[in-house]
């Protein structure tokens, strides 16, 4: 095993991550990125055809994501792999204790496994989730390519990797701790001790301390989080340009960021003249502009990839839209009410006719109501249906 991989494994055996408490009940709410139907709709603009799907949680850690994958995809076959046996043991305890497996009709398998060897896993996967993992591999390209090869033709690959602009203070602190540790580098408990003592003495004027206080201090009360952040033996951080170089090595298409609101330029630029200049930029240049203007909030990138040629249904064809059968997005809170939380936990208020349309859509799929059927009962236009689709409130089958 490579020295780097061994060091990473030792870190997560010492401090399994994430240190989320083990609960006696299912985790709260939802996360649409781990709900296949909702994620598929976000990426491809329609309901997936397949119901029985295979999911890979690549680098599942202590199983917080795996638990949501089980909860949201009750018919799926799920394989959860990690290199740390201690993280895997906690993941298994987590799922047992919370009871999420009681109503689960699919299969779940936990496996101690190096994801760089993903090609050795059986079959392909409709959803691959790899959050906070690829940037810790000795060579992240090896990992993204191996996982990309396991993606089913219509599959989705969700990735989260670190951003350098919002983490430069962390990198400096990592180096400072390593300098002071000397030949004790690799002793993670010592690293946490050194790091905590360093922070305790830094003056208020220190940018490293200021950043810790404004952004990270709450989560870093846990030694697992502190170690994951400041005592990590191997971390690659990206910027938009190096991120797209990395993505291009996978041979997959970039679908979009899963925190899409962050990547809207109009939250940073208001002038019409400047916005018309922005319209001349490529999408990648536009993302770069956003991170240059809002660097400290770029602590990570989270995004979906898909096999080429990637296409998204836009429902511009009136006939196609009239025939489609809408259902409610399963990731919502507060339905059946006009005021609710959408898939992203944003509060929204529906007008009367939107509410009526959504009520009829909620009767699908059993009733098989098409958009045309619904519009014969409610005074609503196809463009208003498109607005519900674009806001991810309904999913078209
Ligand atoms: C920061 S944790 C993320 C855990 C989980 N994905 C999450 O977001 O909560 C990184 C995880 O990746 C695992 N990991 C690192 N290198 C790996 C490899 N080569 N193969 C499999 N898992 C690996 C670690 O053991 C650790 O549990």
Q: Is the CB of 59 under 6 A from ligand 1?
A: yes
Decide: 373 and 15 in contact? Cβ < 8 Å: no
In the chain, the percentage of residues whose pLDDT exceeds 90 is 98
Q: Is the CB of 64 under 6 A from ligand 1?
A: yes
**How far is the C-alpha of 82 from the C-alpha of 149, rounded, in Å?**
18
Quick one: which H or E segment has residue 306?
A: strand 300-306
Q: Which atom of ligand 1 is nearest to the CA of 12?
A: 25
Q: How far is the CA of 220 from the centre of ligand 1 (A)?
A: 18
| pLDDT at res. 51 | 84
| Alpha carbon distances (Å) from 363 to 153, 357, 368, 394 | 31, 10, 8, 12
Q: How far is the CA of 373 from the centre of ligand 1 (A)?
A: 48
pLDDT tens-digit profile of 242-282?
A: 999 999 999 999 999 999 999 999 999 999 999 999 999 99
CA-nearest residue, atom 20 of ligand 1: 114
HSE, side-chain direction, 13 A CA sphere, residue 67: 28
CA-nearest residue, atom 26 of ligand 1: 61
pLDDT tens-digit profile of 158-211?
A: 999 999 999 999 999 999 999 999 999 999 999 999 999 999 999 999 999 999
Q: How far is the CA of 82 from the centre of ligand 1 (A)?
A: 6
Q: Is the CB of 65 under 6 A from ligand 1?
A: yes
- Find the distance separating the first CA and the last CA of the chain, reported in whole Å: 47
Q: Is the CB of 132 under 6 A from ligand 1?
A: yes
Helix (H, G, I), strand (E, B) or coil at 114: coil
pLDDT tens-digit profile of 315-360?
A: 999 999 999 999 999 999 999 999 999 999 999 999 999 999 999 9
What are the respective helix, strand and coil percentages of the chain, to the nearest 5? 45, 15, 40
b/e per residue 345-363 (b: at least 16 CB within 10 A): eeeeebeeebbbbbebbee
CA-nearest residue, atom 18 of ligand 1: 114
Q: How far is the CA of 71 from the centre of ligand 1 (A)?
A: 21
**How far is the C-alpha of 308 from the C-alpha of 297, rounded, in Å?**
30
Q: Is the CB of 87 under 6 A from ligand 1?
A: yes
| pTM to 2 decimal places | 0.97
| pLDDT at res. 365 | 73
CA-nearest residue, atom 13 of ligand 1: 59
Q: Is the CB of 130 under 6 A from ligand 1?
A: no
Q: How far is the CA of 366 from the centre of ligand 1 (A)?
A: 40
CA-nearest residue, atom 3 of ligand 1: 132
């Amino acid at each position: 095993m490579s020295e780097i991989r061994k060091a990473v494994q030792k870190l997560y055996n010492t401090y399994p991550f994430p240190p989320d408490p083990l609960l006696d009940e299912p985790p709260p709410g939802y996360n649409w990125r781990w709900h296949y139907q909702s994620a598929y709709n976000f990426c491809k603009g329609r309901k997936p055809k397949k119901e029985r799907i295979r999911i890979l949680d690549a680098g599942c850690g202590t199983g917080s994501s795996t638990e949501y994958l089980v909860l949201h995809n009750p018919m799926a076959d799920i394989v959860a792999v990690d290199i740390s046996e201690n993280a895997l043991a906690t993941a298994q305890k987590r799922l047992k204790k919370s009871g999420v497996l009681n109503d689960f009709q699919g299969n779940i398998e936990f496996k101690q496994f190096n994801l760089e060897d993903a090609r050795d896993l059986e079959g392909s996967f409709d959803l691959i989730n790899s959050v906070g993992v690829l940037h810790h591999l000795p060579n992240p390209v090896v990992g993204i390519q191996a996982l990309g090869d396991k993606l089913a033709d219509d599959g989705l690959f969700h990735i989260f990797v670190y951003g350098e602009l919002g983490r430069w203070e962390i990198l400096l602190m990592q180096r400072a701790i390593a300098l002071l540790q000397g030949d004790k580098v690799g002793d993670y408990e010592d690293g946490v001790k050194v790091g905590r003592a360093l922070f305790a003495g830094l003056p208020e004027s220190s940018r490293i301390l200021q950043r810790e206080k404004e952004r990270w201090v709450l989560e870093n009360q846990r030694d697992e989080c502190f170690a994951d952040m400041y005592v990590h033996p191997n971390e690659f951080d990206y910027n938009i340009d190096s991120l797209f170089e990395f993505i291009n090595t996978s041979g997959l298409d970039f679908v979009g960021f899963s925190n899409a609101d962050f990547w809207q330029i109009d939250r940073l630029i208001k002038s019409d003249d400047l916005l018309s200049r922005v319209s001349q930029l490529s999408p990648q240049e536009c993302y770069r502009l956003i991170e240059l203007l809002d660097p400290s909030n770029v602590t990570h990138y989270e995004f979906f990839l898909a096999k080429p040629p990637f296409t998204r249904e836009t429902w511009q064809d009136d006939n196609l839209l009239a025939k489609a059968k809408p259902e409610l997005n399963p990731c919502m809170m507060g339905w059946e009410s006009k005021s609710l939380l959408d898939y992203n936990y944003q509060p929204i208020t529906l007008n009367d006719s939107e509410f009526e349309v959504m009520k009829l859509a909620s009767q699908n799929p059993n009733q098989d109501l098409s958009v045309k059927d619904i519009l014969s009962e409610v005074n609503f236009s196809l463009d208003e249906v498109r607005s519900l689709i674009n806001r991810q409130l309904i999913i078209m089958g």
